[in-house]
Structure formats: structure tokens, C-alpha cells
């Protein structure tokens, strides 16, 4: 990408989108196109069409999505599939109609079957049953991958997808009912330390393993991949590239690391009545490794950085646990 290129980052206020913006700006890209949710409703195709006509972006990063942890995914199933399909359909199709040079779609490792062999290779997509608790979200992300592939096959569009594993970092969501495991645990353990609580309860058995990657590494990988010719991937039969660290950590192990980071000395209790989700999830990174990309931030260092930011901004976090569940239908 030329430093003067017009680059649209959809979802720039979110955790991944804001990291992409930081990386682009640090690399000298200065012609970024950014819109908040209030400025541009990505669910509204007419509004998105008008935006594309007015701005004519050359490159598009799709980091906008409706996201959340197990509870939110399993409770708001209709909203998760509808909103994610609508957002990506509008952006991908109108990128084609507007002549966008290249587009990178960000998916999620939840696209893989619940019991996929570990580590998960790109070709395991659509080879088995998905994890039920986040199936609507996963199906939407799979549709996004296939939409990019279809627009390449029919129209030769340079549209491609990357699949990051579990992200964490600045601008994360710490709402206990909608957040992912890591930020929820960080908040619980921090508040237990501050209040002097002797025990923290964690959902599930603590046995499932996850692969955590700092969001700055995801941003670095996205810009790295965007600079490649996407045709080479499709010619190899690839529809997406995995992005991760290659290291897995159990939820129990994560709770231990967070306790050390926070300085909490109480007990961790596991609530086996709550779902675990996918039992194991670690990426095969062979293909992106061969391209020359590797993560830079180890989990222990990343947790220390994020916790410092969390504490510094604690009073500014909006913990509106019940807000999204009080939405009334008209």
C-alpha cells in the first residue's frame, strides 16, 4: 500500500480496529478514513453506499463486527447472525461495486469445528459440527470468508480473510455478560483484590485451552497480509490464513497468570454448571510462518501491559452489564 492510499478501517473504535489504526499511523499511513457507529450505520446499505461514493476508499479492513463471549453469543443468537451478516455483506459487496483495490476481512477461530484436530489447519473449515454456543456468529464469519472467495472467483476481486485466535489488548470489553474470558477474568480478579474477596468464581471447569494473541500482533499481521498478492493464496486452495501464537493456555492457567499479574492471593473456584465452550483451540500457523510473519508479544508480557492500561482507565470503563439485554422489540 502506498503511504498516500485512502484506507478505510471499519470498526476503528473497537479493540482490533483501533490497533490497526495505531499500526497504520505508526507505519506512516496518513490518509485514513474513519467513521464511528453514530456517523455511519453499517447495517444500512444505503448509508454505506453513500459513504463509499463520497470517500472512494482504495483499501478496506473489515474489523467491524458484533462480538462477545459465550453468554452474549448464546443469548443474542439472532442479533449476532443478523448484524454480522448485514455488516459484512454491505461492506464486501459495496467494496466490489466501488472498485476497492484490496479488502481484508477479519474472522475468528470459532469458524472451525468444535472437535477439530489440534492444531487447527485452514483446510479444517467446514469439516465438522460447530460449537453450539457461538454457532450463529461462526456461520456469519464463514459466510464472510466464502463471500470474499466468491467475489475473487467471479470478479477477480482482491478480497481475502484472516482468522485471528482469541484477542486481548487495549480497548477490550470488560462487561461481564458480553466480554470474552480474558477481560472478564481480569476484571473479576482485579475487583476481588481491591475488595479483599477471598474467592473468585470462574465459568466452567477451567480445563478448556485457548490461544491468546495481543491485538497489536493481530494488527501487524493484517497489514503484513494486506501487502501480499491474494491470488497466490486462492491458487493454493486457501480461503483464509490463520493468525496466532501457536501456544495454548488453559482457562485455569490463565486465571493463575492473571492472579500473579494482578497480585491476587485468593482462591479460584470453578462453576461446572456453566458451559466450557470448545474444549481445545490452537491454530496451525505453518502457512503464515512460511510467509515470514511471527507474533512479537508473549502472553505474560501482554497481560502486564493490558493490566496496567486497565487499571489506569478503570474509572472510564463503562460496565453496563444489563444494557444489551433490555432491548425491547418494536
> In whole angstroms, what is the distance from residue 86 CA to residue 90 CA?
6
Omega cis (within 30) before 119: yes
Q: For the residues 262-276, what does the mean pLDDT come to?
A: 94
Q: For the residues 262-278, what does the mean pLDDT come to?
A: 92
Q: Are strands 102-106 and 158-164 parallel, antiparallel or unpaired?
A: parallel
Domains along the sequence of the chain with CATH: 7-173+211-247+283-297 (3.40.50.720)
Which pTM value belongs to this model? 0.92
Residue 16 has pLDDT above 50, yes or no: yes
Residue 327 has pLDDT above 80, yes or no: no
Residue 274 has pLDDT above 80, yes or no: yes
- 160, 148 Cβ separation under 8 angstroms: yes
Strands (DSSP E) found in the chain? 7-10, 32-33, 59-62, 102-106, 158-164, 166-168, 199-203, 209-210, 212-214, 241-243, 249-250, 267-271
> Mind listing the pLDDT tens digit for each residue in 46-70?
999 999 999 999 999 999 999 888 8
Mention every residue, 6+ apart, whose C-beta is less than 8 A from residue 28.
Answer: 3
| The C-alpha cell that represents 68 in the structure block | 462477545
The question of whether 137 is a catalytic residue gets the answer: yes
> In whole angstroms, what is the distance from residue 97 CA to residue 46 CA?
13
> In whole angstroms, what is the distance from residue 278 CA to residue 23 CA?
31
Burial degree of 34 (CB within 10 A; 0-12, 13-18, 19+): middle
Cell numbers 493463575 correspond to: 256
Buried b (16+ CB within 10 A) or exposed e, 209-233: bbbbbbbbbbbbbbbbbbeeebeeb
- Percent pLDDT > 70 in the chain is 96
- 262, 190 Cβ separation under 8 angstroms: yes
8, 59, 71, 137: the catalytic one is 137
> In whole angstroms, what is the distance from residue 37 CA to residue 43 CA?
10
Q: Are strands 209-210 and 166-168 parallel, antiparallel or unpaired?
A: unpaired
| pLDDT at residue 322, rounded to an integer | 38
Amino acid at each position: 500500500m502506498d503511504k498516500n492510499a485512502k484506507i478505510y478501517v471499519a470498526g476503528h473504535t473497537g479493540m482490533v480496529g483501533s490497533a490497526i489504526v495505531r499500526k497504520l499511523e505508526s507505519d506512516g499511513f496518513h490518509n485514513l478514513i474513519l467513521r464511528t457507529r453514530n456517523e455511519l450505520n453499517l447495517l444500512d446499505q444505503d448509508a454505506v453506499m453513500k459513504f463509499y461514493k463520497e470517500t472512494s476508499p482504495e483499501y478496506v479492513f473489515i474489523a467491524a463486527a458484533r462480538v462477545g463471549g459465550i453468554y452474549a453469543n448464546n443469548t443474542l443468537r439472532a442479533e449476532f447472525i443478523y448484524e454480522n451478516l448485514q455488516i459484512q455483506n454491505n461492506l464486501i459487496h459495496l467494496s466490489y461495486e466501488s472498485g476497492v483495490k484490496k479488502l481484508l476481512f477479519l474472522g475468528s477461530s470459532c469458524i472451525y469445528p468444535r472437535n477439530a484436530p489440534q492444531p487447527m489447519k485452514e483446510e479444517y473449515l467446514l469439516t465438522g459440527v460447530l460449537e453450539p454456543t457461538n454457532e450463529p456468529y461462526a456461520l456469519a464469519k464463514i459466510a464472510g470468508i466464502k463471500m470474499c472467495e466468491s467475489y475473487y472467483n467471479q470478479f477477480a476481486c482482491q478480497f481475502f480473510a484472516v482468522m485471528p485466535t482469541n484477542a486481548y489488548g487495549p480497548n477490550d470489553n470488560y462487561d461481564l455478560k458480553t466480554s470474552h474470558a480474558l477481560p472478564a477474568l481480569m476484571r473479576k480478579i482485579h475487583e476481588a483484590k481491591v475488595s479483599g474477596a477471598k474467592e473468585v468464581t470462574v465459568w466452567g471447569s477451567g480445563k478448556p485451552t485457548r490461544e491468546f494473541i495481543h491485538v497489536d500482533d493481530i494488527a501487524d499481521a493484517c497489514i503484513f497480509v494486506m501487502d501480499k498478492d491474494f491470488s497466490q493464496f486462492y491458487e493454493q486452495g486457501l480461503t483464509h490464513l490463520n493468525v496466532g501464537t501457536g501456544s495454548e493456555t488453559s482457562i485455569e492457567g490463565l486465571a493463575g497468570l492473571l492472579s500473579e499479574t494482578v497480585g491476587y492471593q485468593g482462591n479460584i473456584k470453578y462453576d461446572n454448571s456453566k458451559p466450557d465452550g470448545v474444549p481445545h483451540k490452537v491454530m496451525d500457523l505453518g502457512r503464515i510462518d512460511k510467509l515470514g510473519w511471527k507474533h512479537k508479544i508473549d502472553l505474560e508480557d501482554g497481560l502486564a501491559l493490558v493490566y496496567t492500561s486497565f487499571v489506569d482507565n478503570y474509572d472510564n470503563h463503562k460496565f453496563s452489564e444489563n444494557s444489551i439485554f433490555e432491548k425491547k422489540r418494536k
